Chains A and B, each alone.
Chain A
Amino acid sequence: MKLKEIIEKLQLRVITAQGGFETEVTGGYTSDLLSDVMANSQKGNIWITLQTHQNIIAVAKLKELSGIVLVKGREPDEETTNKAEEEKIPLLSSKESAFSITGKLYKLISEKKIDA
């Protein structure tokens, strides 16, 4: 499923998406612990978190994640946005909780897999 479809269906706000919206999202990972995301996320996953510090961009880049969704309307630090632009990591946000966004995303992606 393409990133743009997820942005549309989950009504995510785009903070930056220098890499474009055509990235393929392979699944999602929800966690606020960087070591956990480092060890357990898969390439192409979209990462759902309340962490807003710039270190999330390095993790997303190293793991080749398809984007980051900040939950509960959290605003990224300025350096985070700058780094996301530089590294072309799509940075998105939602007013909803991690639980709710994760549930919706899970449903969306599994329905898509059944269709295919």
Chain B
Amino acid sequence: MEPENGFIQEFKVKGGDFSKAGSISTEIKEILQEVGIDSSIIRRVAIASYEAEMNMVMYSRKGEVSFILDSVKILIKTSDEGPGIEDIDKAMQEGFSTATDEMREMGFGAGMGLPNIKKHSDEFKITSEIGKGTNLSITFYLEQQNKQ
């Protein structure tokens, strides 16, 4: 679906590459600031996009993030090639994590990423296929009255 008068940007994520981790979220944030989006919305988008980006860096082989901005909403879609998530309900629980010791030493693995994406977005969809990968669709409405 093409957004009308919208703006689209796509980013690539390389699994395991912690040196660039966070750069996509930073770029998205900078675009939103430039366009003059309300700072409370930017804050929520930054939290969600960072967590989505980090999960791809941590768990997937590679992935893509598309960032879409139109007159009503901000939409962030991710799709990755990776192990997928066995039990999505469990993964959505705060505290559940399969992060390795090495990841935990770096401060990851609180099991707060997915719950925080959900908490800070207006709409959140997650689908996953074992052995294939995971897809997220995260929506933020620019005006609260557009929320469904």
A residues at B contact (CB < 8 Å): 32-36, 38-39, 43, 49, 51, 53-59, 61-63, 79
Q: Pick the contact of A59 from B18, B50, B105, B120 — CB < 8 Å? A: B50
User: Is the beta-carbon distance between B18 and A53 smaller than 8 angstroms?
Assistant: yes
User: Is the beta-carbon distance between B50 and A58 smaller than 8 angstroms?
Assistant: yes
**Contact status of A62 and B19, CB under 8 A, knowing A35-B108, A39-B112:** no
User: Is the beta-carbon distance between B19 and A79 smaller than 8 angstroms?
Assistant: yes
B130 CB-CB contact with A under 8 Å = no
Residues in A with CB closer than 8 Å to B13 are none
User: Is the beta-carbon distance between B19 and A59 smaller than 8 angstroms?
Assistant: no
**Contact status of A51 and B22, CB under 8 A, knowing A35-B113, A35-B116, A58-B50:** no
Closest Cβ of chain A: how far from B59's Cβ, in Å?
Answer: 14
Interface residues on B, range: 20 to 34
User: Is the beta-carbon distance between B112 and A36 smaller than 8 angstroms?
Assistant: yes
Closest A residue, CB atoms, query B25: A62
15 residue pairs A–B, Cβ–Cβ below 8 Å: A32-B107, A33-B112, A34-B106, A35-B112, A38-B116, A39-B47, A39-B119, A43-B43, A51-B106, A54-B18, A55-B18, A55-B106, A58-B50, A61-B22, A62-B26
Identify which of residues 16-48 in chain B touch chain A, using a CB-to-CB cut-off of 8 Å.
Answer: 18-19, 21-23, 25-26, 29, 43, 46-47
Residues in A with CB closer than 8 Å to B29 are 62
Closest Cβ of chain B: how far from A42's Cβ, in Å?
Answer: 9
Additional pairs, 14, CB under 8 Å, beyond known A34-B54, A62-B22: A33-B109, A33-B112, A34-B108, A34-B110, A35-B116, A36-B112, A38-B47, A39-B116, A53-B106, A57-B22, A58-B21, A59-B22, A63-B46, A79-B19
B80 CB-CB contact with A under 8 Å = no
Residues in B with CB closer than 8 Å to A55 are 18, 21-22, 54, 106-108
A61 to B26, CA, bound (A): 8
